[in-house]
Structure 1
C-alpha cells in the first residue's frame, strides 16, 4: 500500500479508505475466528464489535496526533516529537512498533501456510506449516528487494479482489447454512449464560490485532487531499467497514459450520466448513481468499515496516547497518524483518504470535493515547475521550495478560521475556 501512495500524489477519501482496509483486512479475520469460537462460541460477533470499539478508541489519538503533527512517520515520529528530551521513550516506541509489525508479519505468513496446505495430507504437520510460512516471507522479501514497483502495481488489485472474495464467501456460507437466525440467537443466549463478561472482553482484546493497519492512512499525509478532513473520515470509515466485514464473515461461518468443527480446525476453519457445504469449489474459494488476503498484507507489511525500521535506525535506535539504502530501498531492514519474523514463527505457535501482536499494538496505542493526553490542548482533544482511550486500552492489555496467566502461564512467560529483551535493546541504544 505504501507503493500505492508513492504512485498517487493526490489521494482522495476513497483511496485512503482502501489503504486502511488493505492493511486491516489481512490474515487477522481468518486467524481470530477459530480461536474466538473456541473461547466464547456464538458470541464471537459481539467480541468483534467490541474489538472494533477498542480500535476506534485507539484511532482517536492517532487521528488527533496525525492532524497536529502531519508527519508521515506516524507512531514513532508522534512519540519522539511529543517527548523530544527522552531518548529512551523514542527508542522504546521504535522497538515496540517494529516488533509489533514483525509479529503481524509472522501471523499473516502462518495463516497463509495454514490455508495453503489445509486440503492436503500435511494440514496437521506443524513443521511443514512453519516451513511454508517462512518460505512465503522469503518470497515477498525477495520481491520487495528485487522489484518494489512490480509489487506496487498489483497491490490495489489484490486489496479490492480480496474484499470481493471475502464478501462472496460470507454470502455463500449464510445462504447455505443449516442454521436459521432464530436458532443463532438462541445459541447466542445459551453461550451468554455459559460465558462471562471477562471471556468476551478477552476475545475482544485479542481481536485488536485484526484492526491493526488503520495507521497507514497517516503515512500518506504528504500525498492526500485535505488531510484535516480526510484523515478522520478515512480512518473511522475503514474501521467501521472492517467491523462489518468481520461480523458478516463470522456470522456466515457460525451459520454454516458446526462450532466443534470451527474449534477443531481453528487455523483453517473457513476452508474446512466451506468444503463440507460446497465441496472442493467452496474449499478452493476460501483458500484463494485467505492466500490473497495474507499475500497483500505480507507485502504491505514488509514494505512499510522495513522503511520505518530504516528511519529508526537512522536516528540511532537500531544498528546503523539497517538504515542503509540502495536505490532508496532499505534492503538490510527488509532482510532483518524477514529473519526476525521467521525466528518468531519457529519458536512460537499461532496463539503466541496472535497474543504477542495484540498486546504489542494495544501497548503502542496506549502510548499514543498517553502522548495525546500530554498535549491534548494543542491537539484540541477531548479529555474524556482521551482518558477513556487510556483506560480501555489498559484494560485490554491487562485482560490478555490475565488470560495468559490463568490458561497458559508458560506462554505468558515467553511474552514477558520478549518484552524484557525489547526493553533492554531499546535502553541500550537510547544510551548510545
Structure 2
C-alpha cells in the first residue's frame, strides 16, 4: 500500500517476534535447568539483549548503511567474508527458531486428547511439525502477508492472553490457593540461571528484524530506537510473570512434559472455578496460534533477509532470484526444507541451544563492534561491554552445561556448528581455494 510503519507497528513487530513463539518453546527447556530461578534467567537474558539492542541502535545511527548486522560489518570492518558469515549465521539462527516453533506447535497440538501420539507405530510429533512448516511455506509462496494493522491485533491478542495468565496466576497462587511460592533466590550464586539465560536467549531475538527493512519505517533511526527500548523490557515482564506462575503451579508438569507446562498451569488455576479444561484449551490454542504465526513471520523475514544476501553476492544465486517480485520461491523452499529437517530429527533442547548460540555469537559480535567504535560517536562503553561480555560469556557456559548434562545434545550442536562454519568458509573462500588447488595441480603436473 506504500504506507510507512510507525512506532506502534514497530513495537508490535518487535514484541510479536519475541512473544510470538519463544515463551512456549523455551520455558520448559529453561525451567528444567534452574526451576525456581527461571524468571531470573529471563531477566539476565533480557539485560544482555537490551545492551545488544543499544549497540545496534548506536551503530545504526552512526552508519551510512541501513540493514543490521551484515551492513555494520561491511561498513565498520570492511570484510565481505566476515559479513557473509554473519549473514549465514543469522540465517541458521532463523532456521533454528522456526524449527523450535514448529516443535512447540506439534507438542501443544498432540496435547489435545483427540490427537493420537502415534500413527502406524510412529510418533506423530515430527509429522505435525513438518506439516506446520509445509503449511506456512505454502502460504508464503502464495504471497500471504500480514499488514501492520493486522499485526497490531495479533500481538494484542497474544500479549493479552499471556498477561492474563501471568496476573491471574499470581493472584491465584498467592491468594486463592495454598501454594508456597518459590523464587529460587538460593540459586542466584550458582551458574544455573546464567546457563538457563543463555539457552533462553533465542526468545529475545525478534527485535533486530526491524533493522532489515528501514525504508518502510517512518523516521527509521528514531522509531526503531524507541521500539527496541519498549519491546525488550515488555517481553521481560511477560516472561517473568509466566515463568513464576508456571514454575509454582505446574512443577511436576515441567519435569514430566515441560513443553506444554503452561497449559497445565492454566488448568490448575481455573480449577477453583471448575473450569480447568477451559484453561488448558485457551492456553493450548493460544500456543498453536502464537507458534504458527511465529513460523510464518520468521519465514517471511528470513526470506527477505536471504534475498538481500543473494543480491549482495553473499548467498549463491541458485538459492533464489534477487530481482524477483516479493519472496523468491527457491529461497522459501530452501529455508522450509532445512527447517523441516531440523524440526523432524532434532530434539527441542538441541534446536533451542543451536538457535540461541547463533544469536549469542552475532549479538555479542555487534556489541564488540559498537565498543570498538565508541570514540567515533556518542556511544557509551558500558552497554556494549555488557552486551559483549554477557553474550560471549553465555556461549561457553551453555556448551559446558550441555557437555556435562546432555552430551548427545552437545555433540549434535557442535556438529551443526562445525558444518555451518565449514560451509560458510568453503563458499566465501572458494576463489582462494580454487586458485590454490589450481597452483597445486600445476606443480604436480610440472613434476610429472
The alignment's TM-score, normalised by the length of structure 1, stands at 0.90
Alignment of 1:229-268 (within 5 A): 229-257=222-250, 259-268=251-260
Which of 124, 129, 134 is 1:128 aligned to?
Answer: 124
Which of 391, 394, 397 is 2:392 aligned to?
Answer: 394
Q: Which residue of 2 aligns with 1:314?
A: 311
The question of 1:165 aligning with 2:161 is answered: yes
Q: Which residue of 2 aligns with 1:93?
A: 86
Is the CA contact 2:179–2:248 (under 8 Å) kept in the aligned structure 1? no
Which of 267, 279, 282 is 2:279 aligned to?
Answer: 282
Which has the larger displacement, 403-412 or 114-123? 114-123
Is the CA contact 1:102–1:341 (under 8 Å) kept in the aligned structure 2? yes
Q: Which residue of 2 aligns with 1:14?
A: 8
Q: Which has the higher Rg, Structure 1 or Structure 2?
A: 2
Q: CA deviation at 1:346?
A: 2.4
Q: Which residue of 2 aligns with 1:303?
A: 300
Q: CA deviation at 1:121?
A: 6.2
* Matched positions, count: 421
Is the CA contact 1:106–1:353 (under 8 Å) kept in the aligned structure 2? yes
The question of 1:216 aligning with 2:216 is answered: no
Is the CA contact 1:275–1:283 (under 8 Å) kept in the aligned structure 2? yes
The question of 1:376 aligning with 2:399 is answered: no
- Stretches of structure 2 that go unaligned for 5 or more consecutive residues are 432-448
1:218-257 C-alpha deviation (Å, 9 max, x unpaired): 2342233333433222101100100111111122223432
The question of 1:57 aligning with 2:51 is answered: yes
Q: 1:123 to 1:384 in 2, by over 3 A?
A: farther
1:37-74 C-alpha deviation (Å, 9 max, x unpaired): 22222211111111111111211211112222364421
Which has the larger displacement, 69-78 or 141-150? 69-78
Q: Whole-Å Cα distance in 2 between the matches of residues 132 and 391 of structure 1?
A: 39
Q: CA deviation at 1:26?
A: 1.8
Q: Whole-Å Cα distance in 2 between the matches of residues 50 and 406 of structure 1?
A: 22
1:375-400 C-alpha deviation (Å, 9 max, x unpaired): 33334312333233211111111111
Q: Whole-Å Cα distance in 2 between the matches of residues 395 and 240 of structure 1?
A: 21
Q: Whole-Å Cα distance in 2 between the matches of residues 296 and 349 of structure 1?
A: 21
Q: 1:272 to 1:123 in 2, by over 3 A?
A: farther
Q: Whole-Å Cα distance in 2 between the matches of residues 150 and 238 of structure 1?
A: 19
Is the CA contact 1:71–1:219 (under 8 Å) kept in the aligned structure 2? no
**SS of corresponding position for 2:376:** helix
Q: Which residue of 2 aligns with 1:342?
A: 340
Q: 1:163 to 1:384 in 2, by over 3 A?
A: closer
Q: Which residue of 1 aligns with 2:138?
A: 142
Q: 1:121 to 1:262 in 2, by over 3 A?
A: farther
Q: Whole-Å Cα distance in 1 between the matches of residues 299 and 236 of structure 2?
A: 25
**SS of corresponding position for 1:328:** coil
1:184-224 C-alpha deviation (Å, 9 max, x unpaired): 55x33xx4446752001111111111111111222342233
The question of 1:25 aligning with 2:23 is answered: no
Q: CA deviation at 1:410?
A: 2.5
The alignment's TM-score, normalised by the length of structure 2, stands at 0.87
Q: CA deviation at 1:113?
A: 1.0
Is the CA contact 1:97–1:360 (under 8 Å) kept in the aligned structure 2? yes
Q: Whole-Å Cα distance in 2 between the matches of residues 341 and 272 of structure 1?
A: 28
Q: Whole-Å Cα distance in 2 between the matches of residues 289 and 18 of structure 1?
A: 17
Is the CA contact 2:109–2:115 (under 8 Å) kept in the aligned structure 1? no
Q: 1:70 to 1:274 in 2, by over 3 A?
A: farther
**SS of corresponding position for 2:191:** helix
Is the CA contact 1:56–1:236 (under 8 Å) kept in the aligned structure 2? yes
